Amino acid sequence: MKRPLFLLAGPIAGLLVRFLLAHHGPDAATMAGLVAWIAVWWISEAVPIAVTSLLPLVCFPLFGIAGLGDTAANYGKEIIFLFLGGFLLALGIERSGLHRRIALWTVLKLGGSPARLVLGIMVASALLSMWINSTATVLVMLPIALSLVDGLDEDHGRERLAVPLLLGVSYGASIGGMATPVGTPPNLVLLQLWEELFPGRPRIGFGQWMSFGIPFAIVFLGLSWWLLVRWLEPVKGIQLEGRDAVRERLRELGRPTRDERWSGIVFAITALLWVTGDGLSFGGLDLPGWRDVPMLAPVGDPAVAVAGAVLLFILPQAHGNGRLLEWDWAEKRLPWGVLLLIGAGMALAMGIARSGLDQVIGGAMQAFGNWPVPLMLLALVGVVCLLSELGSNTATASLVLPILARTAESWGSDPVLLLVPATLAASLGFMLPVASPMQTIVFATGRIPVRRMVRAGLWIDAAGAVVLVALYLLLGRLVFA
């Protein structure tokens, strides 16, 4: 379909849903229509996703869902400043050049054979993506991967290595982002939504998330690598000569500069404060956090992120009169649209609750609550994964999580049982070039035939869904109990 048809499809879908659900009451039916309209525009990108994210500011007051002030408040939630501060910290590392050193060093240490080289690329991408925007990670890693491929001639398997190596960049960035709360926007959507909808329950902390996210990322990354190099895109028999290129590029960087050291120190301290802020309870072992000190209790993770970012704007560069991070440089690279998207997700959650649509959805899905838990989670993860293949993972999370939160309540089950797997499933889009910016960027190199991307991605999606459900049932319930 062409974009003008999608422009019309959004409001038409909204009117149709409003008509079909009119018997549930005007507020719930209207809210359902607005969700349908926004979903069509988000998935189709008939207009930019950030522009669609502004619709609640217009439609909620217009249709009596909520006032402008209440709606606008969702665009200034704490979690947005956590993302803002985290991204500024990542930009500080990028500006200093430390990210390239980390990536090259990891590839050099893990490389050797073709299979290990793909593993090195995937691990380097994952490590960067845990803290740096996944799209930026791919942009950093792609030239490194291409230089390794181009270092081979046709007789040594250049074309055979290109596909697994470039897919490894994308897969590593996507998987690494799942490991930490700031690794990918859907994780932040859940953290804010949790505080909004369940204020009486303990919040999900950095350390708690990483206690599950890191093991999951390690297992999933290892399985994805094995499937990629042993079965989907075998690399056996390729004669590797490209490792010297990595060593040479690392040598050209010289010793770490003062800017690299300072940006790394600021980031490391901030990450340490994130992880140790809240106490951890795991298997009966309780570890206190620094927020247990009464004076420090009000200091949230967003404040820590912003403090670290501000420090980068204060510390001077080693050469010249500039700072480690300059605003003119940073503002052009900040994902302002993602901030609006997260705010829109919060607004939708509020609208669904205020209109009574949550009760309608919960009643409609009541029967699924009787399914066996493993089967229910596998079906849920599969549906969310499919949605993420068709649209933005953040938009998918923003649409699905508020609905699932109310659905869990209607089932009488713990909301975290549905919300955490669904959040991670939103980052499982590996099949289509349009599934994520990471997939789009590596596909745009022209080195990956679309059939091979779809074939590999289908199996990686399936593997990710199975690993996610299995590990969550074994470990996640303990971590998030």
3-state secondary structure labels for all residues of the chain: CCHHHHHHHHHHHHHHHHHHCHHHCHHHHHHHHHHHHHHHHHHHCCCCHHHHCCHHHHHHHHCCCCCHHHHHHHHHCHHHHHHHHHHHHHHHHHHHCHHHHHHHHHHHHHCCCHHHHHHHHHHHHHHHHCCCCHHHHHHHHHHHHHHHHHCCCHHHCHHHHHHHHHHHHHHHHHHHHCCCCCCCHHHHHHHHHHHHHCCCCCCCCHHHHHHHHHHHHHHHHHHHHHHHHHHHCCCCCCCCCCHHHHHHHHHHHCCCCHHHHHHHHHHHHHHHHHHHCCCEEECCEEECCHHHCHHHCCCCHHHHHHHHHHHHHHCECCCCCCECCCHHHHCCCCCHHHHHHHHHHHHHHHHHHHHCHHHHHHHHCHHHHHCCHHHHHHHHHHHHHHHHHHCCHHHHHHHHHHHHHHHHHHHCCCCHHHHHHHHHHCCCCCCCCCCCHHHHHHHCCCCCCHHHHHHHHHHHHHHHHHHHHHHHHHHHHHHCC
Q: How far is CA 115 from CA 120, 189, 379, 403, in A?
A: 9, 35, 33, 42
**What's the token pair of residue 310?**
């501000």
Quick one: which of 192, 185, 323, 187 has its CA closest to 266? 323
CA dihedral 86, 89, 94, 100 (to 10 degrees): -80
Q: Give the pTM.
A: 0.75
Distance CA 129, CA 133 (A): 6
Alpha carbon of residue 348 to chain centroid? 19
327 in Cβ contact with 10 (< 8 Å): no
Cβ pair 189, 349 in contact under 8 A = no
Q: How far apart are CA 446 and CA 364, in angstroms?
A: 45
Gap between the Cα atoms of 282 and 384, Å rounded: 28
Among 422, 406, 351, 385, residue whose Cα is nearest residue 57: 351
What pLDDT is stored for residue 273 in this prediction? 85
Instruction: Please give the single-letter amino acid code of residue 312.
Output: L
What is the rounded CA–CA span in Å between residue 25 and residue 356? Answer: 9
Strand partners for 316: 323
Residue 286: phi and psi, rounded to 5, are -105, 125
Average pLDDT, consecutive stretches of 10 residues, N- to C-terminus, the chain (481 residues):
78 94 92 89 81 93 93 86 82 84 77 83 91 79 76 62 91 94 88 83 85 95 96 80 71 89 90 76 67 85 89 88 90 83 81 81 68 89 84 79 81 85 92 78 83 92 96 90 73
Q: Which residue has the tokens 């893990």?
A: 110
pLDDT at 284: 56
State the Cα–Cα distance between residues 102 and 31, nearest whole angstrom: 47
Can you give the pLDDT at residue 153?
56
CA distances from residue 79 to 15, 85, 115, 299, 479 in whole angstroms, order as listed: 32, 10, 39, 13, 21
CA distance 27 to 18: 9
Q: In the structure encoding, which two tokens stand for residue 253, read together?
A: 């960087």
Predicted local confidence at residue 430, as pLDDT: 92
Q: What is the pLDDT of residue 1?
A: 47
- Is the C-alpha dihedral spanning 92, 98, 102, 104 positive or negative? positive
For the stretch 407-410, contacts whose Cβ atoms lie closer than 8 Å and that sit 24 or more positions apart, written own/partner, are 407/361, 407/362, 407/365, 409/358, 409/362, 410/359, 410/361, 410/362, 410/363, 410/365, 410/366, 410/369
